[in-house]
A and B are shown apart, each in its own frame.
Chain A
């Protein structure tokens, strides 16, 4: 590449710095309001920082029984982990079967899986709710978790990935006397940890952030997830601003940690697969 003139380099950095400030501004607002008193948030004279940091707001969020926030955090954590383990397990095995195990009807089955990609899960929420309510799964963990485990998209991504997996490695395992299951667990999975990590990180984030499905199925407040609880706080008759912002702040902490430690996998996953969390 040729070198750019200095004024152009400066202009690029200036544009990026302005964009970065805009992107980080909402985080700052969340932090500022979470550690303020309501009086300071609604004050006529806008202050950049709260005059004293209200760490007591953390305890207040958990003490308010109407939001059920502690329970919601536990629910979300359990749902996110269970959903991720289940999705990755089911779709990696399905993807491996579609990529590697010879079977007469594999092609029609593959098309049947592809067909589900055409209909976005959000469009099927009414139909899915009908089945879940028939199963008596409304207001249950299995009602929130199980129906979303079967991601045709994730299975498709695993299939594409396994198609490019080096066959020689699998052959070596076969010579050592391993069957399909042995080859998959002892050779394919250990050699694909990066891809598994990428898909897992993306699934955890989308599971933690999903809103419509847990809202529809988890109607009882004991089943609320963090997002449903936040939404309830936000639309309540009387809003405690500092409390809502503190709850929002707490809700993003796990994901920001995931970001800090696993960003490499996340970026790799997005870049390779083009899917959203």
Chain B
């Protein structure tokens, strides 16, 4: 068999699927986004940019982008710092490293649905028996309604801790792999040159050596925050307190069956993610071969 038939044999099924389930949907959605399409996935009436204009008015869609921004501003730095810290700690110990690593990694097995369930119905249950309220009551603090309190917005604490619990282990492993690729000789050389162990070697050797891993962690983390749906849906449902873009889109497309606006929203989100990825690429050179 020649190379060309072989190529199609190996690549064809995959490519056909990609066309049918990625490119075609996006193209269809692009067309729909300029049309009115209520209760139907057929374009009904060409409305030009009206769907986009509607979405970009002050309203739930713009609020959802704002929700994402707040969420990313909380979760991305926290995940970065905590996973790096725990990975460094793990890398410094010799006994029981595998045990600790497994404990941090185990939550990765849980879904956001399961974690939201534990958070909502057990830890941050707003009534007396919720674990957080039980602990606080030991200090004489009144019950806090974690998920409905607006001032202060305690629901962010609930949303952030769910995600940290679920994804820290994954990023810890990434950092740990990065740390173990750093040659010990670099540290030896630094000691010889008089660098103090601790902050100095961390600042001038560890961090620069982790550059590729760090960029990957930040980017993956940002994209994961952008895709947030499961925990918001299960913790807050359709609450206007914090409705990230996908939750907004879900209710637009599923409950209202408004595919024109839903498609326009999907197009705006796709454009944003492309911009962010290109921008990141510019800034950090993510994706270039490791040097």
Binding site for B on A (CB under 8 A): 1-2, 4, 9, 12-13, 15-16, 19-20, 23-24, 26-27, 29-30, 33, 41-44, 46, 90-91, 93-94, 96-98, 101-104, 106, 109, 112-113, 116, 118-120, 122-131, 133-134, 146-150, 152, 155, 179-181, 184, 205, 208-209, 211-212, 216, 227, 230-231, 234-235, 239, 241, 244-245, 248, 251-252, 255-256, 258-259, 263, 266-267, 270-272, 274, 276-277
The digit string for B80-114, where 1 denotes a CB below 8 A from any CB of A, is 00000010011011000000111111111111111
Contact between chains at A130 and B10 (CB < 8 Å): no
Contact between chains at A134 and B41 (CB < 8 Å): yes
Contact between chains at A131 and B105 (CB < 8 Å): no
A241 to B223, CA, bound (A): 34
Q: Is B263 an interface residue (CB 8 A)?
A: yes
Contact between chains at A255 and B109 (CB < 8 Å): yes
Which residues of chain B are within 8 angstroms of A122 by Cβ–Cβ distance?
Answer: 226-227, 229, 246
Q: How far is the CB of A98 from chain B (nearest CB, A)?
A: 7
Q: Which of A20, A42, A180, A252 contacts B110 (CB 8 A)?
A: A252
Which residues of chain A are within 8 angstroms of B103 by Cβ–Cβ distance?
Answer: 20, 23-24
A244 to B117, CA, bound (A): 8
Contact between chains at B6 and A101 (CB < 8 Å): yes
The 9 closest A-B pairs by CB, nearest first: A127-B25, A127-B29, A271-B177, A97-B10, A209-B111, A94-B14, A150-B17, A180-B6, A122-B227
Which residues of chain A are within 8 angstroms of B148 by Cβ–Cβ distance?
Answer: none
Contact between chains at B24 and A227 (CB < 8 Å): no
Chain B residues 151 to 184 lying within 8 A of chain A, measured CB to CB, are 165, 167-170, 173-174, 176-177, 184
Most buried by A among B28, B93, B108, B259: B108
A20 (CB) vs chain B CBs: closest residue: B103
Q: Is B131 an interface residue (CB 8 A)?
A: yes
Which residues of chain A are within 8 angstroms of B116 by Cβ–Cβ distance?
Answer: 234
Q: How far is the CB of B252 from chain A (nearest CB, A)?
A: 8
Which residues of chain B are within 8 angstroms of A155 by Cβ–Cβ distance?
Answer: 14
Q: Which of B21, B100, B113 contacts A131 (CB 8 A)?
A: B21
Q: Which of A13, A23, A97, A239 contacts B7 (CB 8 A)?
A: A97
Contact between chains at B18 and A152 (CB < 8 Å): yes
Contact between chains at B111 and A90 (CB < 8 Å): no
A155 (CB) vs chain B CBs: closest residue: B14
Name A's interface SS.
Answer: helix
Contact between chains at B11 and A245 (CB < 8 Å): no
Which residues of chain B are within 8 angstroms of A112 by Cβ–Cβ distance?
Answer: 15, 18
Given contacts A20-B100, A150-B14, A258-B109, contact A119 B117 (CB under 8 A): no
Which residues of chain A are within 8 angstroms of B269 by Cβ–Cβ distance?
Answer: 123
A24 to B167, CA, bound (A): 14
Contact between chains at A26 and B9 (CB < 8 Å): no
Contact between chains at B233 and A179 (CB < 8 Å): no
A-B contact count (CB 8 A): 276
Contact between chains at B274 and A276 (CB < 8 Å): no
Q: Is B254 an interface residue (CB 8 A)?
A: yes
Please name 26 pairs of A and B residues whose Cβ atoms are closer than 8 Å in the assembled complex, sorted by A. A12-B89, A20-B104, A23-B107, A23-B169, A24-B103, A24-B106, A26-B110, A30-B114, A30-B122, A93-B11, A94-B15, A102-B3, A103-B7, A113-B18, A116-B23, A124-B26, A125-B266, A126-B29, A127-B29, A130-B25, A181-B9, A227-B114, A230-B113, A251-B114, A259-B106, A274-B174
Contact between chains at A90 and B13 (CB < 8 Å): yes
Chain B residues 215 to 269 lying within 8 A of chain A, measured CB to CB, are 216, 220, 223-224, 226-227, 229-230, 233-234, 237, 246, 249-250, 253-254, 259, 262-263, 265-266, 269
Contact between chains at A109 and B11 (CB < 8 Å): yes
B187 (CB) vs chain A CBs: closest residue: A1
Q: Which of A1, A94, A152, A276 contacts B10 (CB 8 A)?
A: A94
A13 to B265, CA, bound (A): 48
A270 to B254, CA, bound (A): 34
Which residues of chain B are within 8 angstroms of A125 by Cβ–Cβ distance?
Answer: 246, 249-250, 253, 266
Which residues of chain B are within 8 angstroms of A109 by Cβ–Cβ distance?
Answer: 11, 15
A33 to B121, CA, bound (A): 10
Q: How far is the CB of B179 from chain A (nearest CB, A)?
A: 11
Contact between chains at A179 and B6 (CB < 8 Å): yes
Contact between chains at A124 and B174 (CB < 8 Å): no
Given contacts A90-B13, A123-B227, A134-B41, contact A276 B118 (CB under 8 A): no
